[in-house]
Amino acid sequence: AVVSTQSTGGIIAANRDQVNKTFGLRENVALGLKPYGHNYQYDVSVPAQTMEQLVADVRARVAHIPDVIVTSFGHIGDNDIHIHVIAPHASDEVVGAVEPYIYTRVTELGGSISSEHGIGTQKAGVLSLNKKQPLLDTMRLLKNTFDPRGILNPNKILLQQP
């Protein structure tokens, strides 16, 4: 389902063919946005009742930048929302307006800075905005216990400490 002031409902697949078609649409959103410019994608989760507010907040952050579009879609069942900020071209100004703001705002709304696509390398540097230090310490302890040489997915999720 799409959460916005224009939303009129959602989709519930009745059979496998409809599931496949629905996921086909979902998987092609970024491709459909490509003609509009550079697409900054944010996969976050927030309580469903705050999704519309988060999108409005991101729009407000980039409103002063000409020709920037903010669009989103999500799956309310798991509170996941994909926010796309599209600029005519790659722009440090857009990145500066959105990051790390979006991650701080998600935390304020009671969400997580990463939903279905994980932390990876892009969000490793901002994980501490969303997770408390004792949890990060426990994650690092587990990582070091099972990967003492740091050879499994280095700098994914947790940046290596000097």
Task: Kindly report the pTM of this predicted structure.
Answer: 0.74
pLDDT of 5 above 70:
no
Given a cut of 70, is residue 116 above it in pLDDT?
A: no
**pLDDT bucket at 91, cuts 50 / 70 / 90:** very high
Q: Report residue 30's pLDDT band, with 50, 70 and 90 as the boundaries.
A: confident
End-to-end CA distance of the chain: 44
Q: Give pLDDT tens digits for 138-160.
A: 888 998 899 999 888 777 766 66
The pLDDT tens digits for 61-73 are: 999 999 999 999 8
Pairing of strands 38-45, 69-75: unpaired
